[in-house]
Amino acid sequence: MKKVLLIVVCALVALSSIAFAASTGKISGKVTDQSTGEPIVGANVLVEGTYFGSASDVDGNYFILNVPPGTYTVKCQVIGYKTYIKQNLGVNADLTARCDFPIEVEVIEGETVIVQATRPLIQNDMTSSRNIKTAEEIQTIPVDDIEDIVGMTAGFVDGHARGGRMDEVKYLVNGMPVTDPMGQGDLGSSEVEINIPELSIAEVNVTTGGFSAEYGNAQSGVVDVITKEGGSNYSGQLRYRTSNLGFEPFQDHHELQNVEFSLGGPVPGNLWGSRFFVAGEYTNDMGRFDNGTNDEFSISTSLSFRPTKSDKITFNYMGSQADQGEYRHNYSRITYENEDSDNDGLLDRNISLLSSNVHQYANDNGYDWNEFLDQMGGDSTTKRWMLVDLDGDRDYRNEDRNSNREWDISDLNYDGDATDAFNMLDHVREFNNGQNQFQLKWTHNINTKSYFEVQASQFRTYMKYNINEAINEDVNMNGVLDYGEDLNGNNKLDKYGTDLFVDENNNDYIDASEIGDDPEEWMKWLDVPFGNAQDGDKYMLYGQGFTYWRLRWNEDEKITRTFKTTYTNQVDNYNKMRAGFEYEWYNIFDHDVDLASGGNVYGQNLGKSDLGGQPGQDAIRPYIFAAFAEDKMEYQGMIVNFGLRFDYFDPNWDNIPSDLDNPVTNVTSGGEVLNPVSAESKFYWSPRLGIAHPITDRDVMYFNYGRYFQIPSFFKLFRNVNWDFSGAFPMVGNANLEPEITTSFELGLRHQIGMDMRIEFKGFQKDIQGLTDMRQVFYSASNYYSYYYNIDYGNVRGFEVDFYKRTGKYFGGSVNYTYSIAKGKSSSSRQNYDITWAGQIIPHHESYLDWDQRHTVNATFKAIVPYIDTHVDWTMTYGSGLPYTPASRTLEVLINTERLPSILTSNLMVNKRFKINDHTYASAFIWINNLFDGHNINKINMDAFGDVQWYHLYTQIQEMYDDGDARYFGAESGDLGNDNIDNDGDGFVDESIKDEYMVLMDTDGDGKIDWNKKNPAGGSLGIPYCYTEGRTIRLGVSIEF
């Protein structure tokens, strides 16, 4: 394999002297004599405020490479001619900005001609589907984050690009990855893992078709966020937003406080032309519901300097930190009840650690449960005693091993305080996560035609979450459960007592039990007692409707290190060649323990980290090597981008069973792999081709083809690779997974209308192979585990229409429409697992994917009132109904055969500017989300938490009522009153359709349709977050210079 790698590297480097970092663009043009049209040789072309410049050749042509995205002033000077200055020239990453200079002979010395550049509507050298949002556009449209910006792009549906799975989109900052390599589990979600301050963004590039050979490990899309650098002058901004003014309608549950700032310019002293830029954002948001808090800070910094005229060194740092709570509605099938069942005037207490094996012991020995409880020191009425078998000897009387007169399980840290208990009822998840990225980039200009870049980065993502268990007691004895009470006045719902479900040192022992030096006396996760207490009516105690239904502990750290070098050479006026290679290596640590509601403990303690871990634990350090070569050929009638990419992936894992049917030495608990072997390395080639043909100066036709490979998220490779079989239905990752493959074609046409409008038509088709799903592997006659395989497939086809109106003096905007059909074998990598668990038959045919939205429309509109310097920005998103799977009583599941209602969302921002002086402006604005207060179904939450059977039933009832179906209701036709007719022959006089309808829809008889039936996506319990949030209003002020 090493020999293959060496050959590949040599071959790619030999193709050209190449490469180009996609975070910069190019300026090119021609200098001519305005009167004769003849080319002018030796004209100096300079980008003001920078070190960039060039000179025209014998044909009058010039080009300037490696220009960061932004807006520039370009100056052309020739002795004997007027100085020509073109202002507001826009440069985009990886594209050519055309800037021609038809200069005039100088009559009076020092004459200057100044013109304003206009960004071209048709970019001739763009051979792909690409949407570019500049910093100005991002700050004026009412969207919250990068995902919202990306979501306005044609082809995107809830994070899915052109019908692909969500983790098929790659997110980059300045060309370097910022996604979690473990992904987000089987749902395959992908997102920008780090919070990027909005004021730090120079440009966002979203490519959904035809991305170049520079980009690998992505199947459906690439999003590259280019951050700002300091300019030659000082500039800055301060912005504040809030939804908490203390009165309606400027008061909501969020109580949002958001502060953003930025500052950039030359470093004092101007050492080596150094410049800096810093931007930050702080957000405090109390959430839509109780405990949905978010306290977050993020910062982005840049420092660049030029030790020589040929060298530029840039250091970037970005970091974010968040402490979050999570609202969870009570959606369990078990109904919780709060009551005083023993009529003692106090809320019922509960047996906080009533293990299921206590019941088993009582039953095995023929004990009456209440008598047994009293015998063991409990109170069968008040249920105020806790009984647990810590050492597994089924003796519940001798668990005071330190003789301090407290049951050990209620005083694990032996401090004499018996409030260390937890229970399985009201739990709230608490998250602490942080991310940071360091980047170092060195650019060396060899001459005006070539340069190379060396980049290195490290991206770290860390997350810990824990369940706040001890929150459902009545400590202050006021008859109110303490969940909603701030007992100490610190505006937080604090834990009290010792949290038992914590393992801060990640050694698989409960921290509170680690007393003394003998691990035999400590408690492992598998020994944690499990139980749910019931009151006299068999209702679960103390459910408050804000619960997470299972205990969980998680701490993880994932580090991605990247080294990349590229070389660019503008060989001649027609060929710009580039090549490069990158090496990406990872370090994965993931400690996750999940105590499920059925009493099974699932989890993993994988990899090595400074955070801790078990002794002898194997490191998880996969790596990727890649090389690419590309030639951009620009001719008058055709532009061709041709590239070739090579990728080599090594899981670097040597603990896979040689026989998957006999994987472990102990089939009861798993753990030790039998006859382990190493995972195989993989390599693959990816050709890319893009062609653009300018038909006229207003029309360009383009075509692109690509073959895209992507390694499945490491979650699917390394999940439970300790082969733990202790829980039911174990799942195990497959480090031998092959890459997933997409073959894509696209054909498009761009046409300019008038001077400021453009319309684009494009059709696409994608064939997807090797997607990941699960398959059962039996290691005994009745026991199996689920293993990941490349067994799924899919196909997507569709077309898009994109209209754009450049903002003029009064208005501008854009509208895009997407029609697509997305079908596949499954919508997630665990669909087979879920169907098998439900006892149904796995289908062997394609179905519509969960995100198959047939019609999608996104629109933005800007209106300007110049006389009062006021801007109005409006966005709208429409999506036709997504599919869902109705409840089925058959063995063959009917996947996605029904459709949800369509969605419509609109946001508005009105901004009034005030001029303070020529360089300083202040503004005040109002921002309204969900302007028309739409009530849209959130399909992701409905799938996860809703009750599809309930939704389907009451949706059908509503449809039948709207259709006036008397037969369905067994009623007389119409809404008339009783006319003594028995239409359905049931022996009873029929009511009207409305009467029969209200019998079904108005359970409490108050004359109104029940909320959970009028809004059935939330199921019988009416879970509110199965619907999107209603209208919210924010006010803000800003100052910039």
Question: How does residue 984 score in pLDDT terms, banded at 50, 70 and 90?
Answer: low
Q: Which residues neighbour 152 within 8 Å (Cβ) at sequence distance 6 or greater?
A: 141, 143, 858, 860, 875, 877
Between 680-689, 834-843, 976-985, the lowest mean confidence (pLDDT) is in 976-985
Q: How far apart are CA 175 and CA 451, in angstroms?
A: 17
Closest C-alpha to 24, from 187, 202, 148: 202
**Helices vs strands, H then E, count in the chain:** 12, 47
Would the pLDDT of 949 be above 70? yes
Measured between alpha carbons, how far is 931 from 814 in angstroms, rounded to an integer? Answer: 19
- Residue 670: what pLDDT? 76
C-alpha to C-alpha distance for 170 and 192, rounded to whole angstroms: 9
The arithmetic mean of pLDDT across residues 738-752, rounded, is 96
Determine if the peptide bond prior to 249 is cis (ω within 30°).
Answer: yes
760-776 tens-digit pLDDT: 999 999 999 999 999 99
pLDDT in tens, 904-919: 999 999 999 999 998 9
Tell me the pLDDT tens digit for each residue of 465-481: 887 654 444 455 444 44
Residue 123: name the closest of 925, 702, 707, 792 by CA: 702
Task: State the Cα–Cα distance between residues 408 and 557, nearest whole angstrom.
Answer: 33
- Alpha-carbon separation of residue 835 from 712, 826, 829, 845, 893 (angstroms): 22, 11, 12, 14, 8
List, in order, residues 6 or more apart from 860 with CB less than 8 Å away.
141, 152, 813, 814, 873, 874, 875, 876
Give the per-residue pLDDT at 10.
42
Predicted pLDDT at 612 = 66
pLDDT-based confidence at 573, cuts 50/70/90?
confident
3-state helix, strand, coil in the chain (%, to 5): 10, 45, 45
Whether the CB-CB separation of 738 and 772 falls below 8 Å is answered with no
CA–CA distances in Å: residue 853 to residues 165, 883, 905: 13, 8, 15
Q: What are phi and psi of 961, to 5 degrees?
A: -70, -45
Measured on CA atoms in the order 79, 80, 81, 83, is the torsion positive or negative? Answer: positive
Residue pLDDT, tens place only, 418-464: 444 333 334 567 788 999 999 999 999 999 889 999 999 999 999 98
| Residue entry with tokens 């009582």 | 362
Q: Is the pLDDT of residue 3 over 60?
A: no
Pairing of strands 311-326, 428-447: antiparallel
Q: Considering the chain, what is the average pLDDT of its residues? A: 81
What's the Cα-to-Cα distance from 312 to each of 234, 470, 565, 779, rounded to whole Å? 20, 56, 15, 60
- Asked if pLDDT for residue 313 goes beyond 50, the answer is yes
Task: Report the candidate in 952, 951, 944, 966 with the shortest Cα–Cα distance to residue 1012.
Answer: 951
CB 195 within 8 A of CB 684: no
Higher-scoring residue by pLDDT: 296, 247: 296
Amino acid, res. 756: D
Q: What's residue 428's pLDDT?
A: 65
pLDDT number for residue 4: 41
Under DSSP, is residue 408 helix (H, G, I), strand (E, B) or coil?
helix
Q: Which residue has the higher pLDDT, 688 or 401?
A: 688
Instruction: State the CB neighbour count (10 A cutoff) for residue 509.
Output: 17
Does the pLDDT at position 1001 exceed 60?
yes
CB 684 within 8 A of CB 739: yes
Neighbouring-strand partners of residue 451? 445, 568
The model's pLDDT over 195-245, given as tens digits with 9 standing for 90+, comes to: 999 999 999 999 998 989 999 999 999 999 999 999 889 999 999 999 988
DSSP-derived pairing of the beta strands 96-98 and 25-33 = parallel
- What does the pLDDT average to over 120-134? 89
The tokens describing 848, both together, are 């519509």
Q: Is the pTM of this model over 0.85?
A: no
Handedness of CA 731, 734, 735, 740 (dihedral sign): negative
Q: Are 239 and 913 in contact (CB under 8 A)?
A: no
Q: Is the dihedral of CA 588, 593, 598, 599 positive or negative?
A: positive
pLDDT at 528: 61
Of 121-125, 647-651, 744-748, the poorest mean pLDDT is in: 121-125
Whether the pLDDT of residue 547 is over 50: the answer is no
Distances (CA, A) of 313 to 139, 177, 965: 28, 20, 74
pLDDT tens per residue across span 887-941: 877 788 889 999 999 999 999 999 999 999 989 999 999 999 999 999 999 998 8
Range name among 57-66, 901-910, 941-950 with the lowest pLDDT average: 941-950
pLDDT more than 90, % of the chain: 49
In the chain, what percentage of residues exceed pLDDT 70?
Answer: 78
Distance CA 564, CA 871 (A): 42
Structural contact between residues 744 and 768, judged by C-beta atoms closer than 8 angstroms = no
Q: Domains in the chain, start-ordered, CATH in brackets? A: 15-116 (2.60.40.1120), 950-1022 (no CATH)
221 neighbors 168 (Cβ within 8 angstroms):
yes
User: What is the SS3 assignment for 431?
Assistant: strand
- On the question of pLDDT at 553 being above 80, the answer is yes
| Structural tokens at position 158 | 């809830």
For 860-895, the pLDDT digits (tens) are 999 999 999 999 999 999 999 999 998 877 788 889
587's tokens: 């370090």
Cα angle 1002-1006-1010, degrees, rounded to a multiple of 5: 40
Structure tokens at 47: 């980008």
Pick from 692, 722, 686: nearest CA to 704: 692
Taking alpha carbons only, the member of 818, 826, 788 closest to residue 802 is 818
Q: List 872's β-bridge partners, or say none.
A: 863, 910
- One-letter amino acid identity for 662? N
Q: Is the pLDDT of residue 755 over 70?
A: yes
**pLDDT at position 598:** 57
Nearest Cα neighbor of 198 from 168, 248, 238 is 238
Q: Which residues contact 54 (CB under 8 A, 6 or more apart)?
A: 45, 62, 63, 64, 448
Name residues whose C-beta falls within 8 Å of residue 623's C-beta, 6 or more positions apart in sequence. Answer: 583, 584, 585, 586, 649, 650, 652
Strand 235-242 relative to strand 221-227, pairing: unpaired
Q: How confident is the model at residue 339 (pLDDT cuts 50, 70, 90)?
A: very low
CB 353 within 8 A of CB 423: yes
pLDDT at 416 over 50: no
- For the residues 139-148, what does the mean pLDDT come to? 89
The residues that bridge with 33 in the sheet, in sequence order, are: 103
List all residues 6 or more positions away from 17 whose beta carbon is below 8 Å from its beta carbon.
Answer: 450, 567, 569, 571, 577, 579
Burial class of 1 by CB neighbour count within 10 A (0 to 12, 13 to 18, 19+): exposed
Q: Where residue 408 falls among pLDDT bands split at 50, 70, 90?
A: very low
DSSP conformation class of 934: -
Q: Are the C-beta atoms of 646 and 591 separated by less than 8 Å?
A: no
Grouping H, G, I as helix, E, B as strand and the rest as coil, residue 475 is coil
Characterize 580-616 residue by residue with b for buried, 16 or more Cβ atoms within 10 angstroms of its Cβ, and e for exposed. Answer: bbbbbbbbbbbbbbbbbeebbbbbbbbbbbebbbeee
How many beta carbons lie within 10 A of that of residue 86, not counting itself?
Answer: 21
Mean pLDDT confidence for 698-723: 93
pLDDT band at 745, cuts 50/70/90?
A: very high
Whether residue 46 is predicted with pLDDT greater than 70 in this model: the reply is yes
Pick the more confident residue, 684 or 359: 684
Q: What tokens were used for 939?
A: 């399909």
Instruction: Please name the amino acid found at residue 949.
Output: Q
Instruction: Using the predicted structure, report yes or no on whether residue 988 has a pLDDT greater than 70.
Output: no
- CA separation for the pair 516, 522 (Å, rounded): 9
Distance CA 503, CA 512 (A): 9
* Residue 540: per-residue pLDDT: 36
Res 107: pLDDT: 80
pLDDT at residue 646, rounded to an integer: 97
User: In a 3-state reduction of DSSP, which class is residue 375?
Assistant: helix
User: Given pLDDT bands bounded at 50, 70 and 90, which one contains residue 414?
Assistant: very low
At 12, is the secondary structure helix, strand, or coil?
helix
Supply the pLDDT for residue 424.
35
Q: Residue 792 forms beta bridges with which residues?
A: 771
pLDDT score of 168 more than 90 = yes
pLDDT at 257 (0 to 100): 94
Report the distance separating Cα 962 and Cα 975, nearest Å.
11
| Residue (of 507, 598, 486) closest to 553 by Cα position | 507
> Which 3 state secondary structure label does DSSP give 20?
coil
> Using only C-alpha atoms, what is the Rg of the chain?
32
Where do the H-state alpha helices sit in 803-846? 831-837
- Of the pLDDT bands very low, low, confident and very high (cuts 50, 70, 90), residue 273 is confident
> Could you report the per-residue pLDDT of 482-520, keeping only the tens digit for each?
444 555 555 554 554 556 677 888 888 877 777 778 777
pLDDT in the model for residue 970: 65
Supply the pLDDT for residue 489. Answer: 56
